[in-house]
Structure formats: structure tokens, C-alpha cells
Chain A
Amino acid sequence: MPDQLPAGLDAAETAKRRHWMGLLARAKGEAIVSLLVDLELPAYRRIRGPETGLVMLRGRAGGDGAAFNLGEMTTTRCTIRTAEGQVGHAYVAGRDQRQAEHAALLDALLQDPDWHAAIMTAVIVPLDHAEKACIALRARRAAATRVDFLAMATMR
């Protein structure tokens, strides 16, 4: 996250938008579809894409030194505009064009006060919970393979 936001962007609002855009990008496309089944989504128009391209990923020498180009990653982007005129963007790792389109539509709706609460409840909160559960499971499994050197200590 850059320290300076472009003029006109509110830090708190941007942080919220970053959160939902990140979740929609990291989720599986099918997971988003399954959360949308009971929603009646409004009409919208595609402005750009969905189109698949590449983003060059970078690392840092020694982990914290100067940047280097590590290799590319497929990425799909989409921009839509709702009938109400709200624009939504999405950049999603991978090639799932339907996911990028859904993510762009949901980004637009989440910025619309009439839709925000409903989409948060129906999509974003469940995705957030599912992701936190996955991260916690990974951490618990890793912790189970953490070496305890107790036997070594008592042998001394």
C-alpha cells in the first residue's frame, strides 16, 4: 500500500475497498457464484474486458534489498458500469473471466449505498470468514509440524 493516496481518496473508504477487492480476487470463482444465486443483481454494461493478460511479479534481493523481476502471472481484469452509473473494477489472478466480471460488478455495487449492506452480508462477510478459516487451518497444520526440542534439552 503506498503511503500517499491520490488526491480525493478517503483513506478509510479506500481501505474498505481494498479489502473487498482483495477478497473477491483471492476467492475461487465458484465460491462467488454460489453466494450470488439468491441475489437479483441489477443490469450493467461491460466497459472493458473481461480480458486476460500478465502482471510481472517482483521479489527483492535478500528478501529486503533491491527489486528484481521474478516472473509473470496470468491476471484477468474487467470494468463494468451499472445502469445507475456506478463503475466497478476488478483485477484477479488467473484466467477466470467470469470471476473478474462478477468481482467488477460487486465492486460497483459495494460502492453504491443502496447495495452496500446487502452485498457485504451476502458475499463479502462469508468470503472473509471462509478465507480466515483457511488461513487458520494452514497455521494450525504448520504449528503441528513445529519441532519441539524438549528431548534434546533434557538429555544435557
Chain B
Amino acid sequence: MYVAVKGGEVAIDAAHAWLAEARRGDTALPELSTAQIEQQMTLAVDRVMAEGSCYDRGLAALALKQARGDSIEAAFLLRAYRTTLTRFGHAAPLDTAAMGITRRISATYKDLPGGQVLGPTFDYTHRLLDFALVAEGMAPADVPERAADEAAIPRVSELLAREGLMQREAAAEAEPSDLTREPLTFPADRSARLQNLARGDEGFLLGLGYSTQRGYGNAHPFVGEIRQGGVMVEFTPPELGFAIEIGEIDVTECQMVNQFHGSLTEPPQFTRGYGLVFGSGERKSMAMALVDRALRAQELGEDITAPAQSAEFVLYHSDNVEATGFVEHLKLPHYVDFQSELENIRAMRASVTKAAE
């Protein structure tokens, strides 16, 4: 328990003034604009949008600037801002099969329709610091181009499903859970889990996903497919009565393919873990897909033995805005609480000393 205390206004004002100065840094250097952050720190912006659960590059860039680059603080700012806006409604589910592809890879098939498209990836870079970037004003080299074929790029999961080797997803048209409207309850259905994971902390999900690979959850995943690119957002305004496209957003989708030994009702086949995140959050989408599959243990009749398979453990601790709120509240004055603990300890020590005499 903590109690409200008065005082300290002058100290707080001084602290905030210093914070503003620390944020600005050396004034001999030009100030960073939010447009520069938006354009040149794109993956940081993507992460803030994903964990702030609000797609708006400009707002995420502003949040990063205000937060001095702290992505969790920035996600917190974005979450707080969204509560000031009214909701016009919900869009139709994004059609990721119709994505304007910038990257598409599969680790399960070498040759597949649409091919392996690397896109602007860090993969195959040598991870050596590039000191050429220290020098400013270097124009990037021309980006190569090649004639593109217009053929659609089918999903890898669909190729397997057509053969009957991949479990099909239940295409229920039920209204999904919405964690921004109703609190999380258990058992949490898949829609609540996926929403929670989509806005969950990348580091937390990465660690959990890693744990499933290392034996805590018995997963044998393959990247069936990762695709990145632009998808249309379709919304039906009530005053129009038909769907219109209101924008195109960038997303990353990951389909993890996992072995499933079968059950009384289902033959042995592959099952999916699914990840979908705003922007180019490839690592997050992969971690999300691993954890989504681990959390399907119960519905697939698998033993629940590992942390990543426990819905309560995962879903209650994945949200970094909630987590940081509860951890950081320990900084608030707990003077009265601690006073009683002090008295307790002193009394216990006194009785121990007395007994020893």
C-alpha cells in the first residue's frame, strides 16, 4: 500500500526542466525532427505502433522523441493518447493473401510459387559495424530492379492444407474478443490471445518463444512463411453502406508450421502458430507465432508442462505497459507500509535477543 503525500512540487518542476534539457542533448547539434525519426528509425517506430496498439507512424515518432527513445515509455504515451479518441468502428479483417509483397520467405520449401523474396532484410549482413554510416551525407546506392511477374503469391499454409496435411483454421464469423473493451478472462479464446500477443512486449514473447524451442513446450517449428508488405484497410461507413479502402498499412505475418501427432478426432497433421504485427516486426511476428502455437496446447489435447503453454502466465504478463506500471509503482512512497515492516523486524529482533539472554 502507498499513501498520497504532498510536497515536492518545486523539485518535480526542476526535474522535468532537466528532463527536457536532457532530451534535447547538446544544443550545438541540430534537433532531431519527428519526420527524421519516422523516416530513419522505422523499426523503432514500428515497435512502438505494435506495442502501443495504434497504427500511426507520426504519433509513434513523436512518442519516441518525447520518451528519449525508450520504446516502452513511448508505447505507454501512445496507449494514453488513443484513449482520447472516439472509435468509428472496426475494419474488415486484413486480407494478407492479397498483400503487396516486399518480403516473402519460406523455410519449408525452396521452390515455391512466388519464390523466395528477400526484401530489405538484415539477414546475410555480416553484423560488422559500418563506420561509413558515421560520415553523413552519403547517398545510398541505387536499388536494383527486375521485371516482376503479376502472378498471385499463394500462402504456404494453403499449399499444405490443399493436400490435407495442414489443419484448416475454423472460419467462424463470431465477433472477436476486444481487450480494449472487456478485461481478459479465462479460458481466453484464440481471438483474445492473438490480440494480447499482437500488442505484447517483443522481448517477453521472444524469450517465451525461445523457451519453446529449447524444450519448454516440446515444439518443433518451421517457418512455413513470413510475408511483409502493404495490405488494404477496408471499412464500411454506416452512412455509405458499402466498404471503402481507407488506407494501406504495412504488416508482417508469420506462419509457423508445427507437427501434431493427432488425437481421437484429428489425424496426424501440421498445425499453425500465427503471428501478425504492425510494420516490419519480423522477430516479433515469429515469437508471436511460436507462443500462439504453444497456447493451443489445451485445444489440441497436448500436455501443459511449460510456461509458454500457460495462458494465464503468458497473457497476464505480456503487456509491457501494464507490467511497467506495476513494477514502477514500487517507486511511489510506501512510507507507512515500510514503517510497519520496520517495527515488525525490530520486534522480531528484540524477541530473538531476549530469548538468547
Contact B246 A93 (CB under 8 A): yes
Collect the chain B residues with CB atoms within 8 Å of residue A93's CB: 55, 233, 246-249
Contacts of B110 in A (CB 8 A): 149, 152
Measured in the bound complex, the distance between the Cα atoms of B172 and A113 in whole Å is 43
The DSSP consensus for interface residues of chain A is mixed
Q: Mark A68-85, 1 if CB is under 8 A from B, else 0.
A: 111111110101000000
- Neighbour of B91 across the interface among A55, A92, A137, A149, CB < 8 A: A55
The residues of B that contact A52 with a CB separation of less than 8 Å are 85
Give the A-B pair count, Cβ closer than 8 A: 256
Q: How many positions in chain B have a CB within 8 Å of any CB in the partner chain? A: 88
A26-B248, A92-B247, A138-B100 as given contacts; A70 in contact with B54, CB under 8 Å: no
Q: Which residues of B contact A144 (CB under 8 A)?
A: 143-146
Complex interface: chain B residues within 8 A of A73 (CB): 54-56, 91, 233, 247, 249
A contact residues around B243 at 8 Å (CB): 1-2, 18
Pair A6/B119 contact, Cβ less than 8 Å: no
User: In the bound complex, do residue B59 and residue A68 qualify as a contact, i.e. CB atoms below 8 Å apart?
Assistant: no
- Cross-chain contact A64 with B97 (CB below 8 angstroms): yes
B244 adjacent to A25 (CB under 8 Å):
yes
Interface-located stretch among B189-197, B208-216, B310-318: B189-197
Query: Is residue A146 within 8 Å, beta carbon to beta carbon, of the partner chain?
Result: yes
In Å, the complex CA distance between A6 and B276 comes to 32
Per-residue CB proximity of A15-59 to B under 8 Å, as 1/0? 001100110011000000000000000000000000011111111
Q: How far is the CB of A65 from chain B (nearest CB, A)?
A: 3
Please tell me the size bucket of the interface on A: 35 or more
Q: Decide: A59 and B242 in contact? CB cutoff 8 A.
A: no
Q: Given the interface contacts A69-B191, A73-B233, does A55 sit within 8 Å of B87 by beta carbon?
A: yes
> What is the CB-to-nearest-CB distance from A3 to chain B, in angstroms, rounded to a whole number?
11
Which residues of B sit under 8 angstroms from A57, Cβ to Cβ? 55, 90-91, 94, 233, 249
A66 interfacial contact with B, CB 8 Å: yes
How many Å lie between the Cα of A69 and that of B103 in the bound state?
24
Bound Cα distance from A89 to B239, whole angstroms: 9
A149 to B116, CA, bound (A): 10
A62 touches B148 (CB 8 A): no
List residues of chain A with CB under 8 Å of any chain B CB.
1-2, 5-6, 9, 14, 17-18, 21-22, 25-26, 52-75, 77, 79, 89, 91-95, 135-147, 149, 152
In the A-B complex, list the 8 residue pairs whose CB atoms are closest, starting with the nearest.
Answer: A65-B169, A93-B247, A22-B245, A139-B148, A6-B241, A62-B169, A68-B191, A140-B145
Known A26-B248, A70-B194, A139-B101; 19 more pairs at CB < 8 Å: A22-B246, A26-B247, A53-B88, A55-B87, A55-B91, A57-B91, A59-B96, A61-B169, A66-B169, A66-B173, A66-B174, A68-B194, A70-B94, A71-B50, A93-B249, A143-B148, A144-B145, A145-B144, A149-B110
